[in-house]
Structures are given as structure tokens and as C-alpha cells.
Amino acid sequence: MKNFWASAIVMCGFAGSIACSSTDDPSQPKELAAATAFDLDDVKTNPTTYDFKDFKPNVQKLILAGAPETEHIAILWYTVADGGVGLHYHAKTESVYVIDGSQTDAKGTYPTGTVYFNPPGSGHQITDSSGFFVLAYAAPPDFASTDLIGEYEPVRIDTTDPDLSQSYPFEERQPGTKTFAAPLDGEGGLSAEFVDTSSADAYSYVGNYLLVLKGTCEIEGLPFGRGQLIVTKTVEPQAFAVTAAKGGSCLAMGVSFQSPVD
């Protein structure tokens, strides 16, 4: 957390026009002009210091961008070891990244470090789940239209795979930088891209959040380590310049409220 606090102080210069919040509490996210930086280790260690709201029995939600009744990004917290959410429908793509713990539905159990994407027209009931999750909804969960749920298969990726960049078809975008776009439904209103770079030349990622999975990424010239999350304050995608820290490499996952690019 000390490394995050140090970088958060520096982030007053983010994107050339950033103003930090007045809070001096390192356990709180730092408010920026265009984005907010979160240390996910701190979120799971000190969840009561964040503005979580009741979502369902024994389930709380922290809205990071957007609003509950529209597309939004949030962190979900099952406050018990066997938490669940009733059957619901997803009109558009849902993204779930497991920060810590596991989530279970009829398609299986998703452990820490897994990200999965449910396509438009899908739906599920959550059972036997615990921990913390980053959610991105292109449309809010619908508990009234469960009769619309069709057959589907989620796109599931283990971000802890040490051979991730070899296991998936990453493509070189520029010297030292390669990317992989998750194969998501173009009608789902959501896209996701993995950026693997060892370059000091910036790669421009346009999206709503960037999560550092390995190494240290410099985002707009400022360092962020594993488990640090940068989220836009609105649901409008923003451009982020991503490079590797000097002499190193990094892997980041970006999620965006825009359709996948062919």
C-alpha cells in the first residue's frame, strides 16, 4: 500500500490537468480529474473504509463509474462465505474479474485471478460465493426478465497463467508491445484487451478501466504495480498512454464500454 500511496501523491500531474482530492488517508482512493486510482489489496483488506452500499442480502456494491440503473463499473463484496444473488438476465455483456475469493454459477466456479464475460442474452444465479470482484455491466442485471435467458457459454480467462501471452493469440502492435482482444460479442456493448509491453514507447489504450496484472505499468507516465486499478469517472471511454517501467515489462487488462474492434 505504501507504493500505491507514493504513486497516488504523484498523480496530481496525471493527464496534465489532474487535481488530487483533499483527503490524506492512504486507505481511500485518490480522486483525479479524469480517473480514480484504487489499490485492490486495500479494498479487500479495508472494505469498510469505502462507500459500499447494500445490493442484495449479504452482498454489497461499490459503484466506481456510472449508476446502478445504467451501464456501470463496480466492486462487489460478498460479506459471508456462502453468498449468492438470485437468478437474473444480462441484456448486454457482463465482465467479472475475481479480486479475491470465488464466484459460482451453473457454468462453474471462478477462482481468484479469473476474468469471465457473459454475453448478451445470458443469465445466471450466483451461489456459494465469497470475496471481492470487479464488475463491468454494459446493462444492469435484470431480475424481472429471466424468461429471456438463452443458451450461452462465457469467455473465461485465467489472468494468473504465467504463459498467458503464449496461450492466447497476442498480436504485435508496435515494437515491444503486443495485445490480445477477448473474443466478445460485438452487440454486447463491451470490449476487453490485454496489453503486454516491455516498451518505453506509449501504447494508446481507449477504455474505462485498466488493471495491472503483472509487473509495473506506467500509465500517463506514472507507475502502477500489480493489483492497481485506474477507472474513468464517467462511462465515456478515455485514452490512456501505457508503457513499461524502465527496464521492465508489464501486463494489463483493459475493459471498455465500446464494442470490440474487428
pLDDT at 110: 98
pTM confidence score: 0.88
* Residues forming a β-bridge with 220: none
Residue 195 and residue 257 in contact, taking contact as beta carbons nearer than 8 Å: no
pLDDT at site 32: 52
pLDDT, tens only, 181-219 = 999 999 999 999 999 999 999 999 999 999 999 999 998
Instruction: Give residue 212's pLDDT.
Output: 97
Q: Express each pLDDT in 73-129 by its tens digit.
A: 999 999 999 999 999 999 999 999 999 999 999 999 999 999 999 999 999 999 999
pLDDT of residue 258: 86
The pLDDT value recorded for residue 261 is 58
Question: Looking at residues 15-37, what average pLDDT do you find?
Answer: 50
The three three-digit cell numbers of residue 262, written as one number: 474487428
Cell numbers representing residue 207 in the block: 477504455
Q: What is the DSSP string of the chain?
A: -HHHHHHHHHGGGGGG-----S---TTSPEE-SSEEEEEHHHHHHSGGGS--EEEETTEEEEEEEE-TTSSEEEEEEEEEEEEEEEEEEESS-EEEEEEEEEEEETTEEEETTEEEEEPTTEEEEEEEEEEEEEEEESS--BSS-GGG------EEEETT-TTHHHHTT-EEEETTEEEEE----TTSS-EEEEEEE--SS-EEEEESEEEEEEE-EEETTEEE-TTEEEEESSSS-EEEEEEEPTT--EEEEEEESSPPP-
**pLDDT score for 150:** 97
Domains, the chain, with CATH or none: 44-158 (2.60.120.10)
**Mind listing the pLDDT tens digit for each residue in 28-67?**
455 556 788 899 999 999 999 999 999 999 999 999 999 9
